[in-house]
Amino acid sequence: MTSTLDVKLNRIDRIFHPHETVQGQVIISSPKGFSHQGLAMKVQGSVRLQLSTTKPSGSSDSLPKNTDPMELVYFHLPVAPAGKIPAGLSTFPFEFELQGNDGQELLETYHGIYVFVKYEIVCDCVRGIMKNKLHKTLEFVVEVPLKEALLDSQEEFSITPESLENARPIIIEEATSPIKSVEIQLIRVESVAHAGGVARDAFKVEFETNVVVLFENGNMITKNFPIVLYR
């Protein structure tokens, strides 16, 4: 049996808001005990943007697939000084305030295709020369409340197979060419601003519905309807 290190937070869902206090424990299990050079923790959060490698029409410039992450949170937190871990189970409590670097506004956790916002706790326990260090990485979720509360506007609805049939017809009044198909698409759009192959500190995530009419001659018409989501 080998020694293990784990990190547990005081919230099962691991969801926190900016400026809240994050509390938890570092738990070390060891069958025989060992000496160590300190128990250290770092908290980090960043935005990583990944540009599409598809070249725009008429452009010969190639864009890098990945860009340097934008740092939102980064600091070190000492948990325990050098010493000895006894045999059995040992716990080390910790806490910190969740805030950005130098007043940096925190963004919500998001795992997308081109945009990633991730926060995590990294804990290391360095042991002797002949032993591997104990390591644990734990991701936690950041949710940012709305700055202005929305007015309550309840609207009851139900979704059943019957209600989905011909709920809202699409009427094509006139077409000069034969129509091959009509499609409705619900899509998520992730936009990363860039210039000269370098991503800027700007991105956005949007949802929209597209109505796509495809003609038999290969031509296509698309109508876009933005969708705004609130939690």
Which tokens go with 171? 């009427």
| Type of residue numbered 50 | Q
Which tokens go with 164? 């989905």
For the chain, which domains are there?
4-142 (2.60.40.640), 179-227 (no CATH)
CA distance 43 to 32: 30
Report pLDDT for 37: 92
Instruction: Please name the residue that has the structure tokens 């009419």.
Output: 213
Instruction: Please name the residue that has the structure tokens 């209600």.
Output: 163
Which tokens go with 200? 């800027």
Q: List the one residue out of 5, 59, 1, 3 whose CA is nearest residue 27.
A: 5
CA distance 151 to 53: 42
Instruction: Please name the residue that has the structure tokens 């202005």.
Output: 148
* DSSP β-bridge partners for residue 99: none
Per-residue pLDDT of the chain (231 residues; tens, 9 = 90+): 799 999 999 999 999 999 999 999 999 999 998 999 999 999 999 998 776 555 444 433 444 455 678 899 999 999 999 999 999 999 999 999 999 998 888 999 998 877 889 999 999 999 877 788 999 999 999 999 887 776 766 667 665 666 655 556 777 888 888 888 888 888 877 766 655 554 445 567 788 888 888 888 888 888 888 887 766
pLDDT 10s digits, 108-132: 999 887 788 999 999 999 987 778 8
**C-alpha to C-alpha distances, 138 to 3, 5, 42, 223, nearest whole angstrom:** 18, 11, 11, 43
| Type of residue numbered 61 | D
pLDDT 10s digits, 202-231: 567 788 888 888 888 888 888 888 887 766
Query: Under 8 Å CB-to-CB from 4, ≥6 apart: which residues?
Result: 28, 29, 30, 134
